[in-house]
Chain A
């Protein structure tokens, strides 16, 4: 079996390994979250688990991939390379996932705070308003708030529950509003003026972030297409006109051809990524 075929099988096995791991983790998370809604209290707080779930499923997926590569490529060393690849690539994936979760929480927080503003203006107290909204609003922020408010029922102070949500959720913009509400609640101050002042700022900052995010996403799409198209066309040319590539793919010429191409593309990727970020 040729080197190119082995590389292809290795890439396929790695992609399979990652997809399996994340799919199983996500399914488990969804099923656990739905059972959380049915059972009160304890199950939520004993669940440290998704990290462990991810580790065990990724270990299982690694073993499956090594077996797959060893059978198909007859070169187990490619399968063993996955053992090193998975930890290296898993942490950026996990970081991206966490960033996405924070983004979903932040985005859904605005509607929660506007609803809270309405309830506070109508004279409802803060704990009652938070409980009502966390049970009735169908948003990720309300779901997270509901989980942390269970601590309040167990006897913890409301400000500690909000602090827990802020730290666990790693909230950015909505963390600021939550800190302000926490401060006002601890000092026994009225929330109305605070929310009146903070919420328009939060909305405009979220709109700005949304605009920047959608622009970055479109830049990434363009970059991925620009990155993959030369290799795809090169592979098609190789498929139809192999003799043009034959003497180039052996020896030093191959690396002299490949190295500048890969270097340019990687450099472009890094530079464009830095240019895209606003702050």
Chain B
């Protein structure tokens, strides 16, 4: 079970990966060449867990890797894109536009979620501040005054 933050981070890095992969198609390379080269290119930018998922093992073809990612990739909303890529690759269709659009879609999804986060954050923060910072105010201000009043008042 992925946390929401890890989910977003993986999706953002995946969009960077697809952006860079689309550049290899622009240059006229095939996906079988572009995929591992993109991983090498983004070695310092991508996190270890995404690199583990996208790494092409020696004994596995790109098609089977895409199949595996379409079934098992931790971000379920991104699995569709891997199955789409697999279908296009197997059919021999040009991938440049598709990969570029996938990268753009993932970026836009990320930005939409960020907008939603920025809209809801002030409300969440207000509630949390009331929950966690109001009690100390009560403790530090009112407890001494109440105990002093109880001490002064008879009975």
Q: Which residues in A have some Cβ–Cβ distance to B below 8 Å? A: 166-167, 172, 175-176, 179-180, 182-184, 187, 189, 193-194, 197-198, 201, 204-205, 208, 211-212, 215, 219, 222-223, 226-227, 229-231, 233-234, 237, 241, 243-245, 247-248, 257, 260-262, 264-265, 267-269, 271-272, 275-279
Contact = CB atoms under 8 A, between A and B. Distances in A.
B144 A244 contact: yes
Interface in B107-125: 107, 110-111, 113-114, 117-118, 121, 124-125
List of 5 A-B pairs having minimum Cβ-Cβ separation, nearest first: A268-B132, A279-B8, A261-B136, A244-B148, A226-B133
Contacts of A234: 140-141
7 contacts: A176-B42, A201-B19, A204-B107, A212-B117, A219-B121, A231-B140, A243-B148
B107 A180 contact: no
Given A268-B131, A279-B12, A167 B118 contact: no
Nearest to A194: B23
B26 A197 contact: yes
A183 B12 CA distance: 21
Contact of B118 (A166, A187, A211, A237): A211
A201 B110 CA distance: 12
Interface string B67-94: 0000000000000000000000000000
Interface string B1-15: 000011011001000
B129 A268 contact: yes
Given A175-B44, A179-B45, A230-B141, A277 B5 contact: yes
Interface in B99-155: 100, 103-104, 107, 110-111, 113-114, 117-118, 121, 124-125, 128-129, 131-133, 135-137, 139-141, 143-145, 147-148, 151
A268 B128 contact: yes
B contact patch SS: helix
Interface of B: 5-6, 8-9, 12, 16, 19-20, 22-23, 26-27, 37, 41-42, 44-45, 100, 103-104, 107, 110-111, 113-114, 117-118, 121, 124-125, 128-129, 131-133, 135-137, 139-141, 143-145, 147-148, 151
Contact of A233 (B22, B140, B143, B151): B140
Given A244-B144, A264-B133, A264-B135, 5 more contacts: A166-B44, A201-B19, A230-B136, A278-B114, A279-B8
Given A208-B111, A275-B121, A179 B140 contact: no
Given A179-B20, A187-B27, A275-B121, A223 B140 contact: no
Contacts of B129: 222-223, 226, 268, 272
A208 B144 contact: no
Nearest to B27: A189
Given A176-B20, A212-B118, A279 B5 contact: yes
Contacts of A276: 121, 125
Contacts of B145: 237, 244
Contacts of B44: 166-167, 175
A278 B41 CA distance: 26
B116 to A, nearest CB: 10
Contacts of B139: 257, 260-261
A39 to B, nearest CB: 31
A56 to B, nearest CB: 31
A176 B45 contact: yes
A183 B143 contact: no
Nearest to A205: B107
A257 B140 contact: yes
B131 A229 contact: no
A234 B144 CA distance: 9
Nearest to A272: B128
